[in-house]
Amino acid sequence: MAGTLTEVSCNKIFGGLQKVFKHESHHTQCTMTFGVYLPPQAEAEGAQLPVLYYLSGLTCTEQNVVSKSGFQRYAAEHGLIVVCPDTSPRGCNIEGEDDGWDFGTGAAFYVDATEEKWKKNYNMYSYVTEELPALVNTNFPVNMERAGITGHSMGGHGALICALKNPGLYQSVSAFSPICNPCQCPWGEKCFGGYLGSDRETWKQYDACELIRDYNGPPLTILVDQGKSDNFLERELKPDNLVEAARSAGVPLVMRLQEGYDHSYYFIASFIGDHFAHHAKTLNQVETA
């Protein structure tokens, strides 16, 4: 039944519990999995904790960040519940969904597909911004008015667009090595063309550089970390385009270029503590009704 969670695993770490759940999704019409870290503070009676969503990159599942980043140490320190969804629908039996690593399975790009072949299942934007938060708010001790979002690469793109398209839904946002301008890079062109069709105007609704120019919501300070030795830096990620778009729109953006770091989880693990501090600074001060 949609909305019913089944616990897949549970491990104690840094005084809290790292869990994985599965459920039948309305938006993707398949079984989805996601990780939830419950810090020690979640055990307190009447706890209502801030929640941070982490969106992963191409080829990943929820397990990459769960097992490689070490985020649980910082979630426990700051009292944050952390939710880590998968990156795409799986096992939908769509012709071609497993033909490549950068399109289809593991590469849903956090859009709602409009092309006939994909639109039944590939609705990760609505899954992340609507269905998943509803499940989390119902089943875990979160304060839905204190939510942040972050992610890596394709997931960094996802975090940025989810925050920019939904003013007020997330009070804090950050990204690692995000695909900043997908309308202008091969990864984005392939996925947008496949999921959204050939009209490039429709792509702009999922491009952070386009969205930030028109952002008119509550104040956001965006933190981005980018490795200077990232092999995808110039061809796919294009952080300079985001810096210029944010500057022209007057949206605060902290873009940190990190010398010698690449695109891997070694990079993420090195700076994820800073990102959790960035989110906690905002989420632990938000006044709620």
Rounded distance, CA 218 to CA 251, Å?
10
| Phi, psi dihedrals of residue 135, rounded to the nearest 5° | -65, -45
**Active-site entry in 23, 27, 157, 263:** 263
User: Are the C-beta atoms of residues 113 and 119 closer than 8 Å to each other?
Assistant: yes
Distance from the first to the final alpha carbon of the chain? 32
Please indicate whether residue 153 is annotated as part of the active site.
yes
Residue 274 annotated as catalytic: no
230 is catalytic: yes
Pick the catalytic residue from 230, 275, 278, 279.
230
Q: Which of 153, 172, 174, 177 is catalytic?
A: 153
- Return all residues near 283 (Cβ < 8 A) that are at least 6 apart: 50, 52, 80, 146, 147, 148, 171, 172
Greatest Cα pair distance, the chain, in angstroms, is 52
The residues annotated with a catalytic role in the active site are: 153, 230, 263
